[in-house]
Structure formats: C-alpha cells, structure tokens
Amino acid sequence: MIPLPQPDQETRFFWDACARKELMILRCNACHLYIHPPRPACRRCGSTDVGPARVSGRGVIHSYTVTAQPVPGYEPPFTVVLVDLEEQEGLRLVSQIVDVEPQDVRIGMPVEVTFRQASDDVWLPFFAWRR
Ligand SMILES: [Zn+2]
C-alpha cells in the first residue's frame, strides 16, 4: 500500500489537479514567480495574491538517488528524482522516475510527468523519460 498524500489547505489544489492528470504549481500573480512547495505568500515580492497555474510537466533530472531499501508500496530498487521543471530555473519537484532502469537514469535526462492511480481518488505524479 502506497502511503497517500495528506492534502491540507495549501496543497489540496495540487492533488486535485493530479486527479485530473494536470500538474499545477502555485504562482505569484504579482510577479509571476512559481512557488513550490506551496506557501501563503510569494518569497520574492511578498504578495499574498498567489494561485495555482498549470505547467507543462516537462523538465530535466537535476539529481537522483537509487533507493534499495524497501519502502511501503514500492518495490526496490526505485529511483527518486529531483526534477527541474522547464517553467523556471530552480523550480524543482521531488518524485520518482518510472519505466527506466536505475542504471539508465542520467542527470540532465529529459522527462515528463505521468500520473499513476494510487487509490480511488488519488493520483500521484511520476516522471517518465521524454525521448
Ligand atoms: Zn511575487
């Protein structure tokens, strides 16, 4: 059983979007900075006028770790990746890569989001090799 996210007021939009197979990241409406993880105010300009914006789901692998330890719901080995989303320099998401053997994962590998169903109404964002 995969541990399911526990959405709160600030992260519910993210999980709701995943269930629609959309990747949404919080964005400042004043200066257009993307903010992840979500927080109530923009860290650049301080505005509290922030709201979800849809992103492409494309990015490149910034770094990765192959995990050999068993984790509930996941069959080791699996690869945890830090993905640089293309919308903004340094906009990074922690996820896992799917359908790529751990030894084939590379820093800089182009990837795109793919959603996998974890329960009736919960979908999780993973990343797949964008060839
Ligand atoms: Zn801002």
pLDDT of 75 reads 80
Q: Is the pLDDT of residue 2 over 80?
A: no
Q: How far is the CA of 44 from the centre of ligand 1 (A)?
A: 5
With beta carbons less than 8 A apart as the criterion, state whether 5 and 13 touch.
no
More confident residue, 71 or 88: 88
- Torsions phi, psi of 93, nearest 5? -125, 135
Is the CA virtual torsion 108, 114, 117, 122 positive or negative? positive
What pLDDT is stored for residue 94 in this prediction? 95
Residue 72: what pLDDT? 81
Full-model pTM: 0.91
Give the DSSP letter string of 68-79. Answer: -S-BTTB-SSEE
* pLDDT class of 5 with cuts at 50, 70, 90: confident
Domain map (residue ranges) of the chain: 12-129
Report how far ligand 1's centroid is from the alpha carbon of 26 (Å): 11
33: helix, coil or strand? coil
The least confident of 14-18, 40-44, 75-79 is 75-79
For residue 53, pLDDT over 70 is answered with yes
31 C-alpha vs ligand 1 centroid, how far in Å? 4
* pLDDT above 60 (res 1): no
Q: Return the DSSP state at 12.
A: H
- Cα of 28 from ligand 1 centre, angstroms: 5
The rounded mean pLDDT for the chain is: 94
Instruction: pLDDT band for 4, please (50, 70, 90 cuts).
Output: confident
- Report the separation in Å between the CA atom of 10 and the middle of ligand 1, taken as the mean of its atom positions: 17
Distance CA 120, CA 131 (A): 30
> For residue 45, how far is its CA from the centre of ligand 1 (angstroms)?
4
Mean pLDDT of 16-45: 97
98, 117 contact by CB (below 8 A):
no
Q: Please check the confidence at residue 109 and state whether its pLDDT lies above 70.
A: yes
Pairing of strands 123-129, 110-117: antiparallel
Cα(27) to ligand 1 centroid in Å equals 8
